[in-house]
Amino acid sequence: MTEFKRTTENVDEIERLVQSVVEGGEATEVQRLSQLVGNTIPVIQKLRNKAEETDPVKQTYGPQMREKVRGLVARWEAMEGLARDVLQQQGSDVAPVGSQVPPLATERPLSSAQVEAPPVQPSRGQHGPAIGAGLASNSISRAAAASPSQSQRGQRERAAAA
């Protein structure tokens, strides 16, 4: 899975957690939200820097991917402020980069055959497993998150993929 896809899934998870915490979520959800936000910030910055590279020799992304990254960054910017506000209301703050993200009670426990994925590290060239992989459900109220509706986002993603 690419860094962009993992980060997109993390932003989806953050949106879901913000909605859950606003609706009276548990302390584990607040902690998970804090850690996901802390681990996502440097990755978003890294993706943004790659997308904004103007030197053709150093460019990592083509025009379509740059647009996708810009869309993710715009989504993140709206969500980051909201997530920080929600954390502050809960008496919490953004966790430091590299914090372990605890599983939610609704997630299946790891079997002995599975290995827990470490958090995404913001170092250059390192591609770690996704944080919260498989939790891309997105039930947040878009109006509360100040981001486009799911249908609008889906239309943009389909247009960008075409």
Q: For residue range 92-151, what is the model confidence (pLDDT) as tens digits?
A: 888 777 666 655 555 444 443 443 444 444 444 444 434 333 333 333 333 344 444 445
pLDDT in tens, 4-55: 999 999 999 999 999 999 988 788 899 999 999 999 999 999 999 999 999 9
> In degrees, to the nearest 5, what angle opens at C-alpha 162 toward C-alphas 67 and 128?
55
Say which amino acid occupies 111: S
CB contact at 8 A, 120 and 128: yes
**What pLDDT score does 100 carry?**
67
pTM comes to: 0.59
Classify the C-alpha dihedral 122-127-132-136 as positive or negative. Answer: positive
C-alpha torsion angle, residues 21, 23, 27, 32 (rounded to 10) = -30
User: How is residue 52 written in tokens?
Assistant: 């904004």
- The pLDDT of residue 104 is 53
Among 5, 38, 32, 39, smallest CA distance to 16 is for 32
pLDDT of residue 151: 52
pLDDT value at residue 90 = 86
Task: Give the pLDDT score at 155.
Answer: 59
The C-alpha atoms of residue 18 and residue 87 are separated, in whole angstroms, by 9
Q: Is the pLDDT of residue 69 over 60?
A: yes
Q: Judge whether residue 159 has pLDDT over 70.
A: no
State mean pLDDT over 57-64: 91
| 3 state DSSP class of 17 | helix
CA angle at residue 34 from 42 to 123, to 5 degrees?
Answer: 20
